[in-house]
Amino acid sequence: MAGAHDNLGVLALSRVLAGPFAPMMLADLGAEVTKVERPGTGDDTRGWGPPFDDGGRATYFLAANRNKRSVVLDFGDPGDLAEVRRLAAAADVLVENFRPGFLDGIGLGYDDLRRENPGLVYCSISGFGRDLGSALPGYDMLVQALGGLMSITGEPGGEPQKVGVALVDVLAGLFATVGILAALRHRESTGEGQRVDIELLTSLLAALVNQASAFTAAGVVPQRMGNMHPSIAPYEVLAARDGHLVVAVGNDRQFANLCEVLGAAGLASEERFASNPARVEHRAELRAELEALLAADDASAWAAALTAARVPAGTINDIAQAFGLARELGLEPTTTLRREDGVDVELPRNPIGLSATPPSYRLAPPLMPGVAGSSGDDDQHRGDEHVQRRQR
């Protein structure tokens, strides 16, 4: 099937995660992406390991670089710099996440490139913006700290915790994708490109949703609550006979069903538990009551019984079990791509389902041009061919 963005040419001057993620999303939807890497080391994440796959490649790099061609160009070399400008002049979209001001200083800024390519959609991803925060390094964990996420993650009174994945980078990459698609829609009607600005900090603040609005609309500064929810109870991890059970009760009907399954239907009508605000106010008492009842059986047994009663509940899977669950449900969570060296690599698939123009998986994450198993110098030619094929 044709992709939703076939014939869209993307030039990716980006590395690590937030910058490469958006071009990969566009590539999955059919765009032709040329990734520019620095000589010698390439994308920083090529060296971020272990773990490595059986070919010695960092799995971190694999996570955000499928469906791309890679070329090596040195921004300090006049000839290579001219080549980047040529590629940008032929591109529909450019994505970059360099230190703010760096590309402007070498003639690759938005104002420079739009003179030759007025329809260019130029997406810049920074940590803290292009002005007052331009000197701050945009690393995900730093943004989680400065942006408040670590202050609400972890146990009460314990050490602040980061999320177990570079979530802010992923969020920024997704916001960048939405911004790029909006700019392309505008270009369809006007012929004009535009600049898309994404900051990690504001991406995080927007993604804090109810925790952010608690502050902005009510003046409440959220604190760490472990696995408890600030506004709903019971919505947390509870102890069963053999381990942990997640219960995510969102309304009074579900709570009544929970109490019935646990053999304590009367709890649902007690004044201190009869409504969600009452349960939140008396959450410690409620937790004690529930865990005393849950101690009678194993977490998996309770999860099955509660699920049958339409109460959201489950055990806590590791990553392998999570992929296994998706397969059991027929969701096919992975795709397999063949590398340039003939070895298959299995990666998580794009979760977007489209009936007419579904995501496609055409290229494994590229080997570093010039290393064994890659096409070496031919990668430069393939980058040219990539853009020329789109223009024909």
* Active site members: 169
Question: Are 41 and 54 a contacting pair, CB within 8 Å?
Answer: no
Handedness of CA 282, 285, 291, 293 (dihedral sign): negative
Instruction: List the structure tokens of 189.
Output: 């009607």
- For 95-113, the DSSP string reads EE-SSTTHHHHTT-SHHHH
How would you classify the pairing of strands 235-239 and 244-248?
antiparallel
Alpha-carbon dihedral 9, 11, 14, 17, rounded to 10 degrees: 10
Query: 168 CB contacts (<8 Å, ≥6 apart)?
Result: 18, 140, 143, 144, 147, 149, 200, 203, 204, 207
CA distance 190 to 206: 29
Could you count the other beta carbons within 10 Å of the beta carbon of residue 253?
12
CA distance 13 to 76: 14
